[in-house]
C-alpha cells in the first residue's frame, strides 16, 4: 500500500512537470475581453488566492531551482532533457488529435514520436524536426471543446495553474496516458518527476516573466489561457516554437508560443506594476 501511495504522489509531482508551472501566453496575446471573448470567472476570489500561491511557489522554489539547474547543467544536456519530456507527451497529444478527427495532425504527431523515440534516443534529440514533423499541443480539454462541451468557469488549480471545469478532465487523463506512469521502479518515478519539474520551471521561465511583468498578472494570465484554449479548439496549427526550449534547437513555427501554445491575436498587453495587488511579482501557471 505504501508503495502505491508513493507512486501516486510521484505522479502528482510528475503531472506538475508535464503540465507546467507557468502560463504560456503566446508572443502576441490580446486581452480576451477586448477580443470579444466571454470570461466566466465566478470563483475569482479563490482563483486569485491560488494564483498568488502558485506565484509564491515559483518565486521561492522553482525559480531558484531553475537558475541553479542552468548553472550546473551544460546546454546540450538541458536541451536533451527538454526534448525528452516533450516527446513523452506526444502519445497523449496524438490520441486527442485522432479523437478530434484531425487525422493529418495525428499522423504527424505519431510520426514525430516514433522518429524521436527510435532515432533521437528516446526523444533526447529532435530528429523529427528535420523531417518537417513539428510538435503540437493538444489535450482532453480541447477535445471536449471540439465535441461541443462549453469551457465552463475559469479555475486556477494549485500547482497546475490555469484551467477550467472542462479542462480539469485532462489532468488525470494526461497522467495515466503518460509512458512514465508505467515505470515500475518507485525511485525511477521520483527521479523522473524531480527532473521533469525542474526542467519545466527552467523552460517556462521566460513565460513566467512575461506574466509577472504585465500590468495585471492575473488578468493577463487568464486572458492568455482562455484565448489560447479557444485557438486550439478552432483547430489552428498549434506548433511549438524554439522559445519552448530556450537552449534547444526546435523547428521554427509561424504560430510559435513560449511554453506550449500559440495565439493568432496581436499583442496588446501592458507591461508594468499591478495597481490592484501592488506588485507584478506574482506567479504564473499553465494547463
Q: Report yes or no on 211 lying in a domain.
A: yes
Expressed in angstroms, the distance from the first to the final Cα of the chain is 30
Q: Structure pTM?
A: 0.71
Q: What is the CA radius of gyration of the chain?
A: 18
Over the stretch 3-34, which tens digit does the pLDDT of each residue have?
Answer: 444 444 444 444 444 344 333 444 333 344 43
Count other Cβ atoms within 10 Å, centred on residue 32.
22
Q: Which residues pair with 271 in a beta bridge?
A: 214
Q: Report yes or no on 252 lying in a domain.
A: no
* Mean pLDDT (whole number) for 176-187: 87
Q: Report yes or no on 273 lying in a domain.
A: no
Over the stretch 32-41, which tens digit does the pLDDT of each residue have?
Answer: 443 445 688 9
Tell me how many domains the chain contains: 1
Q: What is the pLDDT of residue 236?
A: 58
Q: Report yes or no on 236 lying in a domain.
A: yes
3-state SS string for 40-52 = CCCCHHHHHHHHH
Q: Report yes or no on 277 lying in a domain.
A: no
Q: What is the pLDDT of residue 182?
A: 87
Q: Report yes or no on 128 lying in a domain.
A: yes
3-state secondary structure of 247: coil
Q: Report yes or no on 250 lying in a domain.
A: no
Structural domain boundaries, residue 227:
2-21+39-244
Q: Which residues pair with 136 in a beta bridge?
A: 239
Q: Report yes or no on 154 lying in a domain.
A: yes
Amino acid at each position: 500500500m505504501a508503495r502505491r501511495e508513493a507512486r501516486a504522489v510521484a505522479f502528482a509531482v510528475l503531472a506538475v512537470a508535464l503540465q507546467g508551472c507557468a502560463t504560456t501566453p503566446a508572443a502576441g496575446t490580446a486581452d480576451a475581453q477586448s477580443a470579444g471573448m466571454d470570461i466566466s470567472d465566478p470563483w475569482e476570489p479563490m482563483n486569485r488566492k491560488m494564483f498568488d500561491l502558485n506565484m509564491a511557489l515559483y518565486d521561492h522554489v522553482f525559480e531558484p531551482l531553475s537558475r541553479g539547474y542552468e548553472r550546473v547543467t551544460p546546454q546540450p544536456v538541458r536541451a536533451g532533457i527538454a526534448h525528452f519530456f516533450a516527446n513523452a507527451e506526444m502519445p497523449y497529444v496524438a490520441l486527442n488529435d485522432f479523437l478530434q478527427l484531425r487525422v493529418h495532425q495525428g499522423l504527424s504527431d505519431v510520426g514525430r514520436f516514433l522518429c524521436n523515440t527510435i532515432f533521437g534516443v528516446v526523444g533526447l534529440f529532435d530528429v523529427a524536426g528535420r523531417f518537417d514533423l513539428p510538435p503540437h499541443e493538444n489535450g482532453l480539454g480541447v477535445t471536449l471543446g471540439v465535441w461541443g462541451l462549453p469551457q465552463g468557469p475559469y479555475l486556477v488549480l494549485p500547482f497546475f495553474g490555469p484551467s477550467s471545469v472542462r479542462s480539469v478532465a485532462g489532468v488525470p487523463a494526461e497522467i495515466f496516458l503518460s509512458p512514465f506512469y508505467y515505470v515500475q521502479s518507485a525511485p525511477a518515478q521520483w527521479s523522473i518527476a524531480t527532473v521533469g519539474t525542474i526542467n519545466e520551471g527552467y523552460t517556462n521561465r521566460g513565460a513566467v516573466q512575461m506574466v509577472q511583468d504585465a500590468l495585471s498578472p492575473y488578468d493577463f494570465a487568464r486572458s492568455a489561457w482562455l484565448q489560447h484554449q479557444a485557438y486550439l479548439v478552432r483547430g489552428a496549427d498549434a506548433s511549438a516554437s524554439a522559445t519552448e526550449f530556450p537552449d534547444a534547437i526546435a523547428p521554427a513555427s509561424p504560430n510559435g508560443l513560449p511554453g506550449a501554445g500559440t495565439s493568432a491575436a496581436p499583442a496588446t498587453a501592458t507591461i508594468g506594476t499591478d495597481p490592484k495587488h501592488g506588485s507584478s511579482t506574482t506567479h504564473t501557471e499553465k494547463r
